[in-house]
Amino acid sequence: MREMVTMVVVLTILSAFSGGLLSGLRNATASRIEVQQLKFVKGPAIKTILEGVSNDPIADRFAIKDGEVERKFFVGKFDGKANTVVLESFGKGYGGDIGLMVAVNVEDDTIVGVGVTTHSETPGLGATAKDDPGFASQFKGMPIKETFKVTNDGGKVNAISGATITSRAVCSAASDAGTMYQKLKPQLEEKLKEFK
């Protein structure tokens, strides 16, 4: 009996201590990790989809409260006008969440470009969504109001062969970005004025 109690007590204390330490460290490093992700993953993705942009979209970013969550947006300037905004959304892929950056032109509500950021898809199959620009470029010029679907589901997007789940996830992430964009559009336009 005594032995049982010792075992339970030791394991509990160890686990509690470990949990406390890790959540503390997580909080301490969270902001730094975010900066690193911006610099090494999201930054390059944004730069690719906003080709020919005249400002630094990473520096020109702002946040809007959408209900409980705070969402981040990046601003792209073309020909001196801040007319493009980049949203981030997520879709459920084959191996976890897929992060997607969606750049939208606020003047005519069309997609400027999309790019996959963080993912854990199978290399060679699902990971093509990030590596092959051909897939992402299909979204270019499409109106953001649409609900995006792969051709199998009656949509317009050609799925990556062998990676339908990934392709669907990207489509649903793009659709989510569209919903979010339409909901927050008045606020986004308000914010964009500050960057002119």
Interface residues with another protein (CB under 8 A) are 3, 6-7, 10-11, 14-15, 18, 21-22, 25-26, 29, 32-33, 36-37, 39-41
Nearer to another protein, 15 or 151 (CB): 15
- Cβ proximity to another protein: between 39 and 140 the closer is 39
Q: Which is nearer to another protein, 15 or 179 (CB)?
A: 15
Contact partners, residue 132, CB within 8 Å, separation at least 6: 160
The position carrying tokens 């390059």 is 44
CA dist., res. 122 & res. 128, Å (int): 9
Contact 37, 101 (CB under 8 A): no
Q: Given the complex with another protein, which of 36 and 151 has the nearer CB atom?
A: 36
Token duo for residue 159: 């799925």
Q: How far is the CB of 107 from another protein (least distance, A)?
A: 35
Smallest distance from another protein to CB 111, Å: 27
Tell me the C-alpha to C-alpha distance, in Å, between residue 85 and each of 13, 79, 178.
48, 15, 12
Give the residue with the Cβ less far from another protein, 32 or 196: 32
CB 36 to another protein: min, Å: 4
* Closest approach of another protein to the CB of residue 2, in Å: 10
Instruction: Calculate the dihedral angle through the C-alpha atoms of 174, 89, 106, 45, rounding to the nearest 10 degrees.
Output: -90
Structural contact between residues 64 and 70, judged by C-beta atoms closer than 8 angstroms: yes
* Nearest distance, CB of residue 3 and another protein, angstroms: 7
